[in-house]
Amino acid sequence: MARPREIGKAGWGWTLFSGLVSLVYFFPVLWIVLTAFKTRTDALAVPAKFFFTPTLQNFINVFYRSSITAGASQATEFPLYFFNSIFVSGTSVALAIVLGTLAAYAFSRYPLRGNDTYLFIILTTRMMPPIVVIIPIFLMFRLTGLSGTYWGIILLYTAFNIPFSIWLVKSFFDELNPEIEDAARMDGANERRVFFGVCLPQVLAGLAATFVFGLILTWNEFLFALLLTGVETRTVPVAMARTMGGEVGVDYGLLAAIVTLFLVPIFIVTYLLQNQLLRGVTFGTVKK
């Protein structure tokens, strides 16, 4: 075989090998998914059960739970929490991309004096440990009444996503060929058309990468959601943590069912935008 080894085609043999490795790596997740289909006794059986009669009871329990006192089944708030998670992460990531793209375009095309310093300060805000700002933000939210509202948590997540959005999208704008823009200007396009008609369509892949990256980081955010969301705006990670309390101990089956359901949307989005994700994690430093 005279084929270069590092990057190249490999056959089903390699699929078999990587399949085994991937399965081992995936095993802790697989176990969570299996636990979601187990009864309470099966979930904590010793020795651990790999083969069992699957039940959908845990998934039903996520949405309808029989309370110990009343006995009758009662609808839970989980549909709302799932909606909240999707709405809050989706909106804030999208909003961050819109604001980030405008800023990135400016940083790329109309550099200010001290451009790099501003970019650095912007990135630093993302790197800082949440513990630094959690108390002021908590106090601020309480004073302004943003606590427990959609707007509050969406704006906060937007702020968290803006730095990455700016950095990523800027790297895509930086790569574009300015001659095309100049040609458009010669043809009489105004600045608005240059942006919407020429530049933006060329960075759509970059926006997709930013979206996936931002979504993965926002989807599971817990600490701020715990402190700043209310009954109406609670997201799934917080609701998940709340199901663990109680006198009967952790209901692993129920928890696993929530984790599994919560994994599905982000898994699908990531699968669809997988090729863009490669771009996303490297801050757009990888050229095509």
Partner 1 sequence: MAAASPHERMGSPRDAGGFFAWLMAPERRGPLLVAPAVIVLFVMNIFPLLWSFGLSFFNYRANRQDVPGFVGLRFYERVLNDPDVWDRFQTTAIIVGSSVILQLIVGFLLALMFAREFPLRRILLMLVLAPMMLSFVSVGVFFKLYYEPTFGLLSQFVSTFTGQPYVLLGTPMGAIMGIVVADAWMWSPFVMLLVLAGLVSVPKYLYEAAEIDRASWWRRFRTITFPYIKSLLLLAVLFRTIETFKLFDIVYIITEGGPGTATETIAVFTYRVAFQFFRTSQSSALAYIILFVVIVLTNLYLYAVKRREQEVA
Contacts with partner 1, 31-50, as mask; x by CB under 8 A = xx-----------x-xxx--
Residue 83 or 120 with smaller CB distance to partner 1? 120
Phi-psi region of 71 (alpha: psi -120 to 50; beta: other; left: phi over 0): left
Contacts for 74 with CB less than 8 Å, ≥ 6 apart: 64, 65, 66, 67
What's the sign of the alpha-carbon dihedral 242, 246, 249, 252?
A: negative
Residue type for position 12 = W
Residue of the chain from 105, 164, 172, 211 that contacts partner 1 (CB under 8 A): 105
Listed ranges 54-62, 76-84, 199-207, 260-268: which one lies at the site for partner 1 (CB under 8 A): 260-268
CB atoms within 10 A of CB 216: 17
> In the complex with partner 1, which residue's Cβ is closer, 73 or 274?
274
201 binds partner 1 (CB under 8 A): no
Our CB check for partner 1 shows the closer of 74 and 183 to be 183
Residues ≥6 apart with Cβ < 8 Å to 217: 160, 161, 164
4 binds partner 1 (CB under 8 A): yes
Among 51-59, 64-72, 121-129, 199-207, the segment contacting partner 1 (CB under 8 A): 121-129
Distance from C-alpha of 155 to C-alpha of 88, rounded to nearest angstrom: 9
Nearest to 218 by CA among 287, 151, 159, 131: 159
Distance from C-alpha of 9 to C-alpha of 31, rounded to nearest angstrom: 32
Interacting residues with partner 1 between 130 and 169 (CB under 8 A): 130-137, 139-140, 155-156, 158-160, 162-163, 166
Closest to partner 1 by CB, 48 vs 60, is 48
Rounded Cα gap, residues 136 and 121, in angstroms:
19
Minimum separation from the CB atom of position 179 to partner 1 (A): 11
Which lies closer to partner 1 via its Cβ, residue 73 or residue 282? Answer: 282
**Does 266 engage in binding with partner 1 (CB under 8 A)?**
yes
Binder of partner 1 out of 63, 87, 150, 222 (CB under 8 A): 222
Q: Are 122 and 162 in contact (CB under 8 A)?
A: yes
Name which of 276, 233, 262, 256 is nearest 55 in CA terms. Answer: 256
Q: Which of 64, 196, 197, 204 binds partner 1 (CB under 8 A)?
A: 196
What is the 8-class DSSP label of residue 90? Answer: H
CB nearer to partner 1: pick between 182 and 232: 182
Contacts of 87 (CB under 8 A, 6+ apart): 150
249 makes contact with partner 1 (CB under 8 A): no
Least gap, CB of 72 to partner 1 (angstroms): 29
Residues touching partner 1, count (CB under 8 A): 104
Calculate the dihedral angle through the C-alpha atoms of 76, 86, 278, 164, rounding to the nearest 10 degrees.
-120
Of 19 and 230, nearer to partner 1 (C-beta) is 19
Of the candidate residues 190, 230, 232, 246, the single one contacting partner 1 (CB under 8 A): 190
The stretch near partner 1 (CB under 8 A) out of 54-62, 72-80, 114-122, 198-206 is 114-122
Which of 55, 57, 149, 270 lies at the binding interface for partner 1 (CB under 8 A)?
270
